[in-house]
Amino acid sequence: MCGFTGWVSTGATGARRAELCAMQATLAHRGPDQSGEHLFETADGGEVALAHCRLSIIDLDGGRQPMFDADYVLVYNGEIYNYQALRKELVAGGCRFDDASDTAVVLQAYKQWGIDCLSRFRGMFAFALWDAAAGRMIFARDPFGKKPLFFHRQGSRLVFGSEIKAVLAFPGVRRCADPTVLSDYFLYRYVPQPHTLFDGIEKLPAGSYAIWERGELTTHRYFTPPDAQPRATAPADRRMPVDGFLDRLTDAVAIRMISDVPYGAFLSGGLDSSAIVALMARQSTQPIRTFSVGFAEADYSELDHARTVAEHIGADHHELRLSPDDLMDHLPALTRFRDAPVAETADIPIYLLSLEAGRHVKMVLTGEGSDELLAGYPKHAFERYAPAYGALPDPVRHKLIEPTIASLPYRYRRIKTVAATLGLADPDERLPRWFGALARAERERLLAPQSVDRAPVDARWARVAGNSALRHALYFDQASWLPDNLLERGDRMTMAASIEARMPFLDEELAAYVSGLPDRWRLRRHTGKYLLREAMRRLLPAAIIDRPKVGFRVPVNEWFRGPMQDYLREHLIADATRTRDYYRPGAVARVLDEHAAGRQNHEKLIWTMLNLELWHRHCLEMRP
């Protein structure tokens, strides 16, 4: 787990090692163990600069980067979990290795198989590889987008880095907001790939590679989440699906426990993380170190459930409790770590939990990705009703159902969300709206005219003929919600604390197996993750398996009505507010007043606005 940065150009840039080292220094938190850099001229008079920071997890003495081999130079971030099997195959084909790192396997795999090596890797990764013989630079990201990579084009020069802050450190890269993505930000609560909030900085999409050759960058997709298409008609496995799933999940956990440093797991007390630690315990002779976070507000804390699981598996358990002060104290710093608005309130507890875990281990396994693979959200059950709801006569919907639901008390926010979202006929608006802030009509009421869409939304999530409503919703989750939000959060918050996070549920072989099953193995009536629940009945207490989903929630709803009211007004409606011109006059004050009075629950929208303001202050302006 590491970070890298650099540039490639068809001519001399004028930048030298000092500039490269300054870019590298912005990534020191991603790799405090080793660093290296290399700046050289290409055969045709171009220039390549590569810098790397390493967090050593495998082969602590080897794997130094940039890594050289004849005409190739590599900088790489991530872990290839099947590197030992690939190494044996490469050795049998005549390759020679100077160390035991997975980095060396990446380099030799590209030499042996070219870009087809990407389909052989089982893991999380991003890399930049200079191929001198071909006169080109190859960039790639793993299938689900666990590891990041950003670009900035300057004519015949390309600047790149594992985080945006490294790109911004290159001379001449401006810190400017891109107003054309603002409407998307308020729909998704993040900016979908390949864009970012920074004008001129883009991210390489998940499951893609790019080639820089003769001053041109071309991007190609090599992986699409399997739920994008209708499932195969042939059964994925002759055995019972529960057994086949458990075998594959067990293997996904086992290969992610390969490490030369101490490791543990995040344990929320929910089904996903509990399943991971239970499988880890089966394969370890030592107690698994587990780390949990909670709050004083009992409705939001799962510490009791996490403690139950930890005792059940005999874990070495650690707990952390947070308060509103933790939120306000850490938000600016987390905005700088993320180089973007903090999309989810859970970023803060995950970061603080990562700091606590970092005192004991260097790597953790997490339950991320289970909901998006196995249909764990309520929306996965409700999405099937969208066509029927949309077919109701307009008077029934607009004059009876919607006014009635809008008048419900504050505590019925989930019902309000379901009605508002099901009423959106366009899946490109509806699918983001389940977790997002505002649909188009809502954006038009809040945002100033210049901040609303200037062109129709692209048909990003158009249905594939024959695909089910469930698979269509899961495809959106796997192609956007995960890489652009949850996995970005997981990478930045753990790397900010200099630890690595591994996610067994997002194993490509496991995902392919689950996608090959009929929908009923994921969703039964209104119960999601059916396959996981049945697989875990032999490993976990029934109270953990069958209790309602809570999710990793932070009590900002209450905090925004209580201790954070002054903080919100100071940031969102004061004279010093940077984002005031984005909104219609009086619109922000109305939202704050409605939330404070308990008339409406606007916690997601308020969080979205607050973090956009913080991004302006602490990323665009670089305030201390």
Catalytic residues: 2
Could you tell me which residues come within 8 angstroms of residue 344 by beta carbon, excluding any fewer than 6 positions away?
485, 486, 489
Q: How far is Cα of residue 463 from the mean position of the Cα atoms in its chain?
A: 23
Cis before residue 66, ω within 30 degrees of 0? yes
Inter-axis angle of helices 324-338 and 487-496, nearest 10: 100
Torsion sign across C-alpha atoms 59, 61, 67, 68: negative
**Residue in this structure with the two tokens 């960039």, named with its chain if needed:** 139
Could you tell me which residues come within 8 angstroms of residue 594 by beta carbon, excluding any fewer than 6 positions away?
600, 602
Cα three-residue angle 324-364-251, rounded to 5 degrees: 135
54: which strand partners? Answer: 2, 34
Please give the structure tokens belonging to residue 550: 């809570």
Helix H segments across 459-536?
469-476, 487-496, 508-515, 530-536
Q: How far is CA 511 from CA 85, 245, 271, 522, in A?
A: 20, 10, 18, 12
Enclosing H/E stretch for 237: none
Q: Please choose, from the candidates 153, 201, 199, the residue with its C-alpha nearest in 3D space to the C-alpha of residue 179.
A: 199
Enclosing H/E stretch for 67: strand 67-69
Could you tell me which residues come within 8 angstroms of residue 589 by beta carbon, excluding any fewer than 6 positions away?
573
Query: Is 614:341 a contact under the CB 8 Å cutoff?
Result: yes
**Residue in this structure with the two tokens 């129709």, named with its chain if needed:** 456
Query: Is 568:607 a contact under the CB 8 Å cutoff?
Result: no
Query: Is 281:104 a contact under the CB 8 Å cutoff?
Result: no
Query: Is 547:305 a contact under the CB 8 Å cutoff?
Result: yes
Query: Is 172:466 a contact under the CB 8 Å cutoff?
Result: no
- Distance, first Cα to last Cα, the chain: 28
Instruction: Please state the φ and ψ torsions of residue 393, each to the nearest 5 degrees.
Output: -60, 145
Please give the structure tokens belonging to residue 522: 């994921």
Could you tell me which residues come within 8 angstroms of residue 293 by beta carbon, excluding any fewer than 6 positions away?
268, 303, 319, 320, 321, 322, 349, 350, 352, 353
